[in-house]
Structure 1
Amino acid sequence: MTRGPRQSPTDPTHEDNWSGGYYEFSIKLGAADDARLDVALAALWHAASLPKPLRRHPDEAPEVSAQALLAGPLNAVATIPGLGSSLCVVMVGRAETDDSGVALEDADWLDLCLPLGALANLDERVGGYPFDGDGDTRGWREPIEHWFATVASAVFEAVPFVHAVTDDEVSGSEVPEVQQGLQGVFRRSPEGGLEVEPVQTWS
């Protein structure tokens, strides 16, 4: 598919920026807990150097808090060292249920997400990732993975989370589901520290 002229990757009014799903850093914090979510969110926001949050509607001005996040995703402009600036979304998932409404898991998942539409407007190498092209993605993914690693260390220091996974649409992924070497993994070691299994295969 031929793309039209690229839009500014930081402009929330361009619907093209919100298309294509998300490249994500998804953190399983543990059992649902507003106080822990508040601490983790503050650590993430600070480590990612995100500015004041915004909603999709410009007349809304939320704060960085668990209460605001539980009311809906918080958007901002992220500056990724070595890559540039893009829209980002921070959201939380909680209390997954089955079709009958019975809770399957009572856990908080804190997600830092980069819309693939905005990333494609930032860097043409993104293309239609992950669905088209067999090229080496390292040039644009590696700066993001390094940025995610910085955020992971800061969040883990504030809140020793269970594990985290990086890649396209990985929210809610458990470690056994991870494609080793193709996706990044951060998890708590038996000694209580943070173990990192970085992406090693980029194509």
Structure 2
Amino acid sequence: MTSPASFRDRTNWSGGYYELAIEVGSSDDARLQAVLSALWSAAGVHGCFGHGDREPEEQDPVPCTVGSLAEFGHLHGRVRLPTGQLVVCGCVAIRGGDDSGDWLDLYVPVGALDHAGTAYWDGRPFFRSGVMDDWLAAIGIETFNNAPFSLGVIGFEVSGCTDASTLAGQLPQTRDIGYLLPHGNALHYGAANT
């Protein structure tokens, strides 16, 4: 049986990504670092590695930093799902430059979810997992409490599907994905409802 925590098993990294995508709010290394550190801690990620094709025991850990993200493209680790299963996970930054802010995505590959036996699709024309959504929302809320951000979205490959300026502080009434939207010092979770 395939272990969903195996880095070397390429099927764990297949099928796309279920993710918490965070619009950091600016293109500033210090702010991105604060959100990255808070996110890694809130998710309880085990390890931080630059290579997703070698087991953690076969490589040296790397610092959980913006510099490591720039060097390796993605950071990899293992995270414990709400079901108790340990699975591979990763993180990537999408740098916005001068015109737009940065995004930071924490993801669990669908292949690892399959191997962990996590139900994430119920016949709808898009991927959905209420268990994963609620878990990622809790991670986002804890992250926000330590490093505020502009917006979080939760679901299957949701990074960049909207932004805080488009939402203008309002949750959509009909939601195909989950939203974490700041109101003052609090973060409000609007679960997917379609």
Tell me the TM-score normalised to structure 1 length.
0.79
Single out whichever of 10-19 and 51-60 deviates more from structure 2: 51-60
Deviations 1:38-70 (A, max 9, x none): 111111111111111122244352111121122
Unaligned 5+ residue runs, structure 2? none
Structure 2 match to 1:171: 159
RMSD: 2.5
How far the C-alpha of 1:196 sits from its partner, in A, is 1.3
Show the counterpart of 2:179: 185
The reply to whether residue 151 of structure 1 matches residue 139 of structure 2 is yes
On the 8 A contact 1:21/1:168 being kept in 2, the answer is yes
Map residues 1-80 of structure 1 onto 2, 5 A cutoff: 7-54=2-49, 55-56=51-52, 57=54, 58-71=58-71, 72-80=73-81
Sequence identity percentage: 29
Q: Secondary structure at the match of 1:95?
A: coil
Which residue in the other structure is 1:113 paired with? 107
- Report how many aligned residue pairs link the two structures: 181
The Cα shift of 1:107 comes to 1.3
Provide the rounded CA distance (Å) in 2 between the counterparts of 1:111 and 1:124. 20
Whether 1:200 and 2:193 are equivalent positions in the alignment is yes
User: What is the aligned partner in structure 1 of residue 123 from structure 2?
Assistant: 134
The structure that has the greater radius of gyration is 1
Q: Which runs of 5+ in 1 are unaligned?
A: 1-5, 97-102
The offset of 1:12, in angstroms, is: 0.8
Q: 1:180 offset after TM fit, Å?
A: 3.0
Instruction: Specify whether residues 52 and 83 from structure 1 end up closer, same or farther in structure 2 by C-alpha distance, changes over 3 A only.
Output: closer
Distance 2:159 2:28 in 1: 18
The TM-score with structure 2 as length reference comes to: 0.82
Q: Is 1:91 paired with 2:92?
A: yes
Matched letter for residue 116 of structure 1: V
